[in-house]
Structure 1
Amino acid sequence: MPLLMSFRRWWAAIFVGILLLPTLGHVLPDVAGPPPTVLEPEARWWEDAARRLDPYINNTFGFRGAVLTAHLSYVRAMGDSMTSRVLKGEHGALFLNEDKALEQSIGQLVRPEPLGKLFDMVKLLNDYMTAHGGRFVMLVPPNGHTANFELLPAYARRLKKAPTEYDLVAQRMKEAGITFVDMRPIMAEAKKTGPVHWRYDTHWNLRGALLGFNAAMAAAGRPDLEVSEGDALEPPVPSYVGDLGRLSGIRPAEPDLDYPGKAPMQAPRNPVAVPGVMPEVSKTDPFVPYAYASGHPGPRILVIGDSFTQGLWEGLLAYRASVYGWMHHRLCRFDMAAVERFKPDILIYAPTERAMPCKGEPAHWPPTPGPG
């Protein structure tokens, strides 16, 4: 009698194949997964393998991306989430763990098609402003992961590679001759004399916001509209405030630094609305657009941005513009007709880094049907 009957041989082959799957997973294609947190085993791992080797194995098993993606889909289907929305970094720093912001900032995620749609839409805005005698500027506030890169966990810093999406956008805008403000070197230089981005919040601080506004005005050819730090900011004071702290329930061990704003950074109490310009949105929408008249001379400035500019730039815009407006970019799907109605002298497109790629089909031109 043979050791393995014919039907048992098939079962044996299937069993051996299953055992080999993890090994094959190291050489076969896999879907993208979260960056590994351990890149190599500890030194002399064989002396205490359970403690020193297991973390490495748990980060490098076969079909890791497929397994983790399937697990995340399962958890979401169950109506739960085992993933933290906040990533802990060095010296107590906190980072957003959503929107693939970490992977984007360290170059592990590059999305050519959404970036191509972004470029096409930005070119439309630039061509429109050029045709109407105005100035267009694109400015990208960096993710906290980019601005405070040195505070990321060590494993994330070691995974950094180029080009990142920010690199590609900056290069594409330069090649097309579109005015683009790369905030990364500006903020890196400013950090030598004080913080420019919160350690416990997703946003830049008031100093970072002021740097961004001034850089946009200079890029638009209006350095006379810049506001000095001395005129806009008080000396820094300790603060424990931060949206990432609230999300995670973590109270920082040491305070961050805040720069209280002087009058130019403060929004007017009773601004004069300019009717018929901005699209209507729900009252519960956190990003209500606005168009106001300041009552003094200056250019008409419109900003298409997000929470990095919504309130933080309102006082500065009121201080320097005759008419100023803001609306959310909606991931490239904003109301293009509002640009025509506003008739800006300076148009600034300012999505934060993690919101650069377009989602779906972007706004197009003309925004309304043409004659005939």
Structure 2
Amino acid sequence: MSLLLAFRRWWAILFVAVLSLPAIGHFLPDLPAPMRTVVAPEARWWEEANKRMDPYLNNTFGFRGAVLAAHGAYVRFIGAPRGPSVLRGTDGSLFYTGDHALEQSVGQLLRPALVGEFVDWVISLKREIEPWGGRLVVVIAPNAQTIQFDHLPDYARRQMKRPTEYDLLDADLAKAGIAHADLRPPLLAAKAAGPVYWRFDTHWNQRGALIGFNAALAAVGRADLEINPDEALGPPEPRTDGDLVRLTGNGTTEPADVQYPVKPPVAVGAASLTPLPGITQARSPRFPFPPLAFETGHPGPRIMVIGDSFTYGLWKDYLAYRSSAFVWTHHLFCRGDPAPIARFKPEILIVAAAERLFPCPLKVPEWAESEVRR
């Protein structure tokens, strides 16, 4: 029986089309995907193709982003456990890879529309403080991958591209006339004198946090409020914990990490702070970042921070030391209620988001859904 019968011809065409999809996928737009861990075949791959060529093919097939996204959706649907989003650097440091942080830092992920939404949101906040002459500044805490780039695996460093989303934001804020402190240069420069990020934690350490705080004040025209690191930070101490260590299931770090404890007079005790009621609304018990609102009892400007975990605990002493009153509230991924701004009337409003979290997402995390103003 001839293979050229009509119904068999159609099946043959369909079969060839399906086989061609991976090749066609190399030239068509795709969804964002995790960083490729192999960017070239091994030398003399033809001698042991199954060993030397397969890792490369597993990283370069067409529609890779769509396939991996479908796999992730299926894993979530069936409730299967997911592996930790942690990458080990060349020096043993751990990097968080959730929220596409690695792809974002090396310029493999660009979302200009989401960056533009963030800028529009910041512009709306600036309008809120204009009636009383408040000043606004944006600071973005870089991913550890951005500052500790030299400790990333070779395959990640080789895929570095420009511009990055941080570059896009810097340019867009300048066009909009929004004050912005680019924290990459001062943090990179400060590395020569000691660590500015923890090796086994997602966040910067107390030293990096202080550099970010001082840069924000300088960018808003209040360099007189900057805090001298020698005045604020004690000598380095070992730290045997970290959120990335917990994420991997290990108990402690080895070798120990380094922290710089905040010391008096910058370390302000809770007893010296007076709560400011009626400024912010209470959060649900499952929300990890309840807002802060206090009077400090000494002179200084009224400072408000709209931030996330990079500033929640690490900036509290700095804010209390340099303000007469301060408020900290979570940015809720560009969806926060602006009403606390009008109630508090800050002289300085600092929008301080982590690099991986600043692009306004299409969907907020589950723990934030109940807090978003609808």
TM-score normalised per structure 1? 0.91
Q: Which residue of 1 aligns with 2:56?
A: 56
Q: Separation in 1 of the partners of 2:155 and 2:113?
A: 28
In the TM superposition, what is the alpha-carbon distance from 1:112 to its structure 2 partner?
2.1
Q: Separation in 1 of the partners of 2:98 and 2:266?
A: 29
Q: Deviations for 1:255-291, whole angstroms, at most 9, x for unmatched residues?
A: 2221122124534222211111112222332111121
Instruction: Label 1:92 to 1:10 Cα distance change in 2 as closer, same or farther (>3 A).
Output: same
Kindly indicate whether residue 306 of structure 2 is the aligned counterpart of residue 304 of structure 1: yes
Mapping of 1:304-343 within 5 angstroms? 304-343=306-345
Q: Which residue of 2 aligns with 1:284?
A: 286
Q: Separation in 1 of the partners of 2:4 and 2:121?
A: 66
Q: Which residue of 2 aligns with 1:23?
A: 23
Q: Which residue of 1 aligns with 2:149?
A: 149
Contact 1:139 1:183 in 2 (8 A): yes
Q: Which residue of 1 aligns with 2:180?
A: 180
Instruction: Label 1:22 to 1:359 Cα distance change in 2 as closer, same or farther (>3 A).
Output: closer
Q: Which residue of 1 aligns with 2:267?
A: 266
Contact 2:232 2:266 in 1 (8 A): yes
Residue 196 of structure 2 aligns with an amino acid whose one-letter code is V
The range that moved more, 14-23 or 60-69, is: 14-23
Contact 2:128 2:341 in 1 (8 A): no
Q: Which residue of 2 aligns with 1:98?
A: 98
Q: Separation in 1 of the partners of 2:225 and 2:241?
A: 30
In the TM superposition, what is the alpha-carbon distance from 1:82 to its structure 2 partner?
4.0
In the TM superposition, what is the alpha-carbon distance from 1:138 to its structure 2 partner?
0.9
Contact 2:268 2:317 in 1 (8 A): yes
Unaligned runs of 5+ in 2: 365-374
Instruction: Label 1:25 to 1:321 Cα distance change in 2 as closer, same or farther (>3 A).
Output: closer
Q: Deviations for 1:291-331, whole angstroms, at most 9, x for unmatched residues?
A: 11111111111111111111111111111111111111111
Q: Which residue of 2 aligns with 1:210?
A: 210
Contact 1:268 1:318 in 2 (8 A): no
Q: Separation in 1 of the partners of 2:358 and 2:71?
A: 28
In the TM superposition, what is the alpha-carbon distance from 1:354 to its structure 2 partner?
1.2
Contact 2:240 2:253 in 1 (8 A): yes
Secondary structure at the counterpart of residue 308 of structure 1: helix
Q: Separation in 2 of the partners of 1:140 and 1:69?
A: 28
Q: Deviations for 1:157-204, whole angstroms, at most 9, x for unmatched residues?
A: 111111111111111112222110110001001011111011111110
Q: Deviations for 1:133-165, whole angstroms, at most 9, x for unmatched residues?
A: 222111111111112111122111111111111
Q: Which residue of 2 aligns with 1:137?
A: 137
Instruction: Label 1:3 to 1:219 Cα distance change in 2 as closer, same or farther (>3 A).
Output: closer
Residue 310 of structure 1 aligns with an amino acid whose one-letter code is Y
Contact 2:291 2:330 in 1 (8 A): yes
Contact 1:264 1:316 in 2 (8 A): no
Kindly indicate whether residue 255 of structure 2 is the aligned counterpart of residue 254 of structure 1: yes
Q: Indicate the RMSD between aligned Cα atoms, in angstroms.
A: 2.1
Contact 2:90 2:151 in 1 (8 A): yes
Q: Separation in 2 of the partners of 1:53 and 1:334?
A: 49
Residue 162 of structure 1 aligns with an amino acid whose one-letter code is R
TM-score normalised per structure 2? 0.90
Residues matched between the structures, number = 362
Give the share of equivalent positions with the same residue, in percent.
53
Contact 1:181 1:215 in 2 (8 A): yes
Residue 137 of structure 1 aligns with an amino acid whose one-letter code is V
Q: Which residue of 1 aligns with 2:231?
A: 231
Q: Separation in 1 of the partners of 2:155 and 2:266?
A: 38
Q: Which residue of 2 aligns with 1:366?
A: none
Unaligned runs of 5+ in 1: 363-372
In the TM superposition, what is the alpha-carbon distance from 1:352 to its structure 2 partner?
1.0
The range that moved more, 91-100 or 29-38, is: 29-38
Q: Separation in 1 of the partners of 2:285 and 2:306?
A: 19
Q: Separation in 1 of the partners of 2:183 and 2:342?
A: 28
